[in-house]
C-alpha cells in the first residue's frame, strides 16, 4: 500500500495493529525451537517409519540457553519475540532498527547495533521488519557468509527478505545451522524447492496470525474501520493519521 500517495489524496487507510503481535511472535518462537532441535526432520522420521535403532550422535540439535538473539526490526512483533526469548532462555538481545528504542533497551537489556554487528554476533537472527522493495534479497550469500556457523535464520515477516537459493547453499554447505520460515518467495512455496529436503529447515504456510483470537481481532478492527468510515468518522486504527490533520 502506497501510504504517502493515499495521504496525498486524502484517503485514510485502515489497518489492524497489535492484535496479531503475540500470535506471530509465537510462530517465530516455535520455528526457532523447531529448527534448534531439528524437529521437522525427526517428525518426518517417525511418519516414514524410519525411527529405528538409537544413534547417540545422529542429527543433534543445539540448546538456546544464554545464546544471543538478533532482532531485525524491533517493533511490536519483534519486541514480543525478544521478550519470550529473554524470559524462556535468558538470551542476550541485540537489535537493528531504523532508529534506537531506549524503552526496549531498558525493558530487555537490549543493545542497539549495526546490521553487520547483528549478523556477525547473533546465534539466532529473527526478521520482523516492514518489507520494502529496496530490501529485496537483503539476506543473501554475502550476509550468510558473515553469520556464525551455528546461526539460525528465522523469518515471519516477508519472503522477499531472503534470497532462497543463497539460503539453501548456506544451509546445505554448513555455512549456517538452520532456518525457520513462515514466509517464502514465492508463496506458496514450490513443492520441489530444495529447502524442503534439508533436515535443518522448518517451513510453515504463513500461519503467523492464524489463531482464533488474532484473526477475530483483525476482523473486528477491520469492521470498526469500515463502520467509522461509512459514518464519516475517524478510523479507529489508521495507518496514515495525517489525513485527519488537513
Confirm if 92 and 122 have CB atoms less than 8 A apart: no
User: Which set of grid coordinates corresponds to residue 51?
Assistant: 525411527
Is 206 noted as a catalytic residue in this protein?
Answer: yes
Is 128 noted as a catalytic residue in this protein?
Answer: no
Q: How many CB atoms lie within 10 A of CB 83?
A: 17
Helix, strand or coil for residue 7? helix
* Residue bearing cell 517464502: 184
* Residue bearing cell 521437522: 40
Please pick, among 58, 187, 190, 233, the residue that the annotation labels catalytic. Answer: 187
Most distant CA pair in the chain, distance:
71
Is 96 noted as a catalytic residue in this protein?
Answer: no
Structural element, H or E, at residue 124: strand 124-127
User: Nearest-CA neighbor of 117 among 78, 71, 169?
Assistant: 71
Rounded to whole angstroms, the Cα distance separating 152 from 125 reads 6
Residues 6+ apart with CB under 8 A from 60: 38
Rounded to whole angstroms, the Cα distance separating 165 from 195 reads 9
Catalytic positions, written as ranges: 158, 187, 206
Amino acid at each position: 500500500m502506497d501510504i504517502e500517495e493515499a495521504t496525498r489524496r486524502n484517503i485514510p487507510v485502515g489497518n489492524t495493529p497489535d492484535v496479531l503481535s503475540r500470535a506471530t511472535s509465537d510462530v517465530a518462537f516455535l520455528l526457532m525451537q523447531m529448527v534448534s532441535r531439528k524437529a521437522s526432520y525427526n517428525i518426518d522420521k517417525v511418519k516414514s517409519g524410519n525411527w529405528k535403532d538409537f544413534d547417540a550422535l545422529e542429527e543433534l540439535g543445539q540448546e538456546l540457553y544464554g545464546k544471543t538473539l538478533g532482532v531485525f526490526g524491533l517493533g511490536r512483533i519483534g519486541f514480543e519475540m525478544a521478550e519470550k526469548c529473554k524470559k524462556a532462555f535468558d538470551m542476550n538481545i541485540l537489535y537493528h532498527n531504523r532508529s534506537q528504542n531506549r524503552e526496549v533497551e531498558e525493558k530487555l537489556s537490549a543493545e542497539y547495533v549495526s546490521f553487520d554487528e547483528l549478523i556477525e554476533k547473533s546465534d539466532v537472527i529473527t526478521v520482523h521488519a516492514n518489507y520494502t522493495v529496496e530490501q529485496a534479497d537483503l539476506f543473501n550469500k554475502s550476509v550468510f557468509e558473515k553469520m556464525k556457523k551455528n546461526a539460525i535464520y528465522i523469518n515471519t515477516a516477508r519472503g522477499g527478505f531472503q534470497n532462497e537459493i543463497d539460503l539453501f547453499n548456506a544451509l546445505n554447505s554448513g555455512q549456517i545451522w538452520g532456518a525457520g520460515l513462515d514466509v517464502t518467495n514465492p508463496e506458496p512455496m514450490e513443492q520441489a524447492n530444495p529447502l524442503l529436503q534439508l533436515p535443518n529447515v522448518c517451513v510453515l504456510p504463513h500461519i503467523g496470525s492464524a489463531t482464533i483470537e488474532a484473526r477475530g481481532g483483525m476482523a473486528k478492527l477491520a469492521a470498526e474501520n469500515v463502520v467509522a468510515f461509512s459514518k464519516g468518522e475517524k478510523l479507529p486504527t489508521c495507518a496514515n493519521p495525517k489525513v485527519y490533520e488537513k
